[in-house]
Amino acid sequence: MRLKIQLSYNNFTVPMSYQSILQGVIYSLLSKDELGDFYHNDGYHYDKKTFKCFTFSQLFGKYKIENKHLIFDDDFYFYISSLDEKFLKHIYKTILLNNSLLINKQQVKIKNISILNLQPFIGTKKICIETLSPMLIYSTKDNYSTYYRPSDKESLNFIINNIQDKCLAYHYPIKELVFKIDHIIYEKRRMMKFKNCFYECFMTKLEIETNFETLSLIYNCGLSSKNSCGFGMIDIAHEKSNISL
C-alpha cells in the first residue's frame, strides 16, 4: 500500500540531505501510543537486524539549488509505502484531519492525499522498475563499510538476502522468492547524508524478473537497506511488451 502526499508552499526550502527531516515528519504523523513507539523505537526483528516495514521517496517538484538547499517553486509531493496497512491508515487519517504539515519549520499546505496499490498478477513477469529514492547496498566488517553498485556481482546476493530477512522479520509468507536482474538501464551514483553519516548509493533503473509476492514486498517496503531512512523506494517504470506470464 502506498500514499501520495501532495503539498504546496511558496519557496519551500530544505537542505539537500533532507531524508531525516522527512522521516521525522512521518513519525510525527503517528500517534504517541504503542503504534508510534513501536515504529520509532522498536520495529520488526530477525537475526539481530531491525526493520521498520516502511519507506519513502524523495521530494518531487520544480526546484532550484541555492547555498546547498533545495527551493521548490510551489507544489511538490512525495510517497510513503508500507506493508503494514494499519501504519498507513493511521497516517492517512491524521493527514485528513489537518490542513497543513510542519516541515523544516515551514507550515506546508496539504493539497491532496491518494492511496495507490500494486496491480496483482499471476506467475513470473519481466518488468522495469526504477528508484524513487537512492538504493543503498553495503556490507560492514570490523566497523568498515563497503558500498556496491547495482551492477556489482555481489549486489544480487545482498538484495535477495535482504528480501529473505524482511520476509522472516515481518512474517510475510512468500511461497517462492523470485528476483532476477536481467538488465541495468542506468545507475547514477549519489553521496547522501543521513544525520551524521554519509552513504554511497544509487538511483537506478532495472529490468527484472519477479513474481507478485516478491514485487509486493519490495514495492511496499523498499529494495535493499535502510528503507525507513528514505533509501530504496521503487516504482514500476514500464512493462515489456513481450511479457510471458
Of 40, 77, 90, 147, which one is the catalytic site residue? 40
Neighbouring C-beta atoms of residue 176, cutoff 10 Å = 8
40 is catalytic: yes
Separation between Cα atoms, residue 71 and residue 13, nearest integer Å: 5
- Asked if 218 and 163 count as a contact pair (C-beta separation under 8 A), the reply is yes
Lookup: cell for 53: 516495514
- Asked if 160 and 144 count as a contact pair (C-beta separation under 8 A), the reply is no
Separation between Cα atoms, residue 51 and residue 147, nearest integer Å: 20
Separation between Cα atoms, residue 149 and residue 134, nearest integer Å: 11
The residue to which cell 563497503 is assigned:
146
Lookup: cell for 166: 524482511
- Asked if 215 and 206 count as a contact pair (C-beta separation under 8 A), the reply is no
Q: What is the CA radius of gyration of the chain?
A: 18
172 is catalytic: no
Lookup: cell for 209: 524478473
Of 27, 46, 63, 138, which one is the catalytic site residue? 27
Separation between Cα atoms, residue 117 and residue 4, nearest integer Å: 11
The residue to which cell 517538484 is assigned:
61
**Residue numbers annotated as active site:** 27, 40
